[in-house]
């Protein structure tokens, strides 16, 4: 299985047999948006995986669902093993995606990233006026998440992971990878991720700060296992 992606920590990275592949520029076009790749994934996004027979599957959550179906005895990325836990994970995946990671990524695409993205994504320039709203959505929903998780902790039902599972699942991985990318000094002009820096000022509160440190260790361990697989 070949994974087309830009970072080493996309949601679909797991310690399973997935070989990563770093994208480059071809004729001034990012490879993911080049016609050869659009033939494989017409959405032009990363990550996507390519199977041995050439079949391609895109959308990070879908890729995780596929891996869980292929490896039912492994720790499930999309929750489970029982239906309720799986659906609680699905609920949190939707909340985190719609409320946080999507506006988080878009405020970058239409903000600091606009000089790059305007050449490759047709609606970037028209979307710039939405920037302030996207930033507010991201910040308000991160604060809301902090409050909900602290509420769970006060009730004694906090597991340290967003969906209340015993191990990290897709919403944790999606928020972690997005926050990590946004925390890069070249990207983080809006300073939206101070709280995710364990040494930062904790703007979004202690739960998210501790959760980020926990996720950092988990993902480093996964990357170590990935390196061992080669």
Ligand X SMILES: N[C@@H](CCC(=O)N[C@@H](CS)C(=O)NCC(=O)O)C(=O)O
Query: Which residues are near ligand X by CB under 6 A?
Result: 6, 30, 32-33, 44-46, 59-60, 120-121
Closer Cβ to ligand X, 45 or 127, answer by number: 45
Longest dimension (CA), the chain: 56
**Least distance to ligand X from the beta carbon of 97, Å?**
8
- Which residue, among 95, 83, 127, has the nearest Cα to 108 in the 3D structure? 127
Q: Which long-range contacts (CB under 8 A, 24 or more apart) does 98-103 make?
A: 99/137, 99/141, 99/144, 100/137, 100/138, 100/141, 100/142, 100/145, 100/175, 100/178, 101/174, 101/175, 101/178, 103/134, 103/135, 103/137, 103/138, 103/141
**Least distance to ligand X from the beta carbon of 14, Å?**
15
**Least distance to ligand X from the beta carbon of 29, Å?**
10
**Least distance to ligand X from the beta carbon of 183, Å?**
14
**Least distance to ligand X from the beta carbon of 59, Å?**
5
Residue 11 token pair: 């949601």
φ and ψ at residue 39, rounded to 5 degrees = -65, -25
Closer Cβ to ligand X, 177 or 203, answer by number: 177
* 8 A C-beta contact, residue 199 and residue 118: no
Closer Cβ to ligand X, 45 or 150, answer by number: 45
Closer Cβ to ligand X, 43 or 166, answer by number: 43
Residue 209 token pair: 């700060």
Closer Cβ to ligand X, 102 or 152, answer by number: 102
């Amino acid at each position: 299985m070949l994974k087309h992606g830009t970072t080493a920590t996309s949601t679909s990275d797991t310690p399973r047999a997935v070989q990563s592949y770093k994208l480059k520029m071809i004729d001034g076009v990012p490879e993911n948006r080049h016609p050869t790749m659009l033939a494989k994934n017409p959405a032009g996004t990363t990550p996507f995986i390519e199977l041995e027979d050439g079949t391609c599957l895109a959308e990070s959550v879908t890729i995780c669902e596929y891996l869980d179906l292929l490896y039912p005895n492994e720790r499930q990325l999309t929750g489970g093993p029982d239906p309720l836990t799986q659906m609680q994970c699905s609920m949190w995946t939707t909340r985190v995606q719609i409320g946080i990671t999507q506006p988080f990524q878009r405020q970058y695409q239409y903000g600091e990233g606009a000089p790059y993205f305007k050449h490759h994504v047709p609606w970037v320039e028209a979307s710039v006026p939405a920037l302030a709203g996207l930033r507010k959505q991201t910040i308000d929903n991160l604060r809301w998440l902090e409050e909900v998780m602290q509420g769970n902790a006060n009730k004694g039902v906090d597991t340290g992971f967003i969906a209340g599972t015993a191990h990290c699942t897709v919403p944790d991985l999606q928020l972690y990878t997005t926050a990590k990318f946004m925390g890069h000094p070249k990207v983080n002009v809006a300073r939206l991720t101070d709280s995710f820096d364990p040494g930062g000022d904790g703007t979004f509160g202690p739960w998210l700060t501790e959760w980020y440190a926990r996720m950092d260790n988990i993902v480093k361990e996964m990357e170590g296992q990935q390196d061992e697989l080669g």
